[in-house]
Homo-oligomer: A and B are copies of this chain.
Amino acid sequence: MAKPSFPTATTKEILERGDLLAPRFDAAGLIPAIATHAETGEVLMLAYMNAEALERTLATGEAHYFSRSRNELWHKGATSGQIQLVEEVRIDCDQDAILLKVTPEGDGGACHTGFRTCFYRVVENGKLKERLP
């Protein structure tokens, strides 16, 4: 498969108000992606995509990320069953962040710890407390 690539926006107007999908990957070739639950809106996780992961996500309708620890394409749920069916893909004003609305399959969660969201801890008085939203 040819290495996927995306165009570059040549003006601020095109970047911010145009219809051109021109994601700005960082020096490592990555862009952060927030996954929220399509039904509840809860923020489930933040991960990273490279161009291939974004292309795969758009082509298949299932969330793909790039695992920085394993240094490889990561089809979320392929081993855990927590496949994320992508209901909507958004991008922010300067196209350096992605927002997914997903329906998690499997146990309905997104976190390897067993919590449904990775954000299961609140900072209170400088300490962390486990508390689901």
Contacts and interface: CB of A to CB of B under 8 A. Distances in A.
Number of copies of this kind of chain in the complex: 2
A118 B15 CA distance: 13
A81 interface: no
The contact size tier of chain A is: 35 or more
Contact of A46 (B32, B45, B127, B133): B32
Contacts of A121: 90-91
Contact of A45 (B45, B92, B126, B130): B92
A87 to B, nearest CB: 11
Contacts of A115: 93
Given A20-B127, A119-B99, A46 B58 contact: no
A18 B122 CA distance: 12
A113 interface: yes
A44 to B, nearest CB: 10
B122 A90 contact: yes
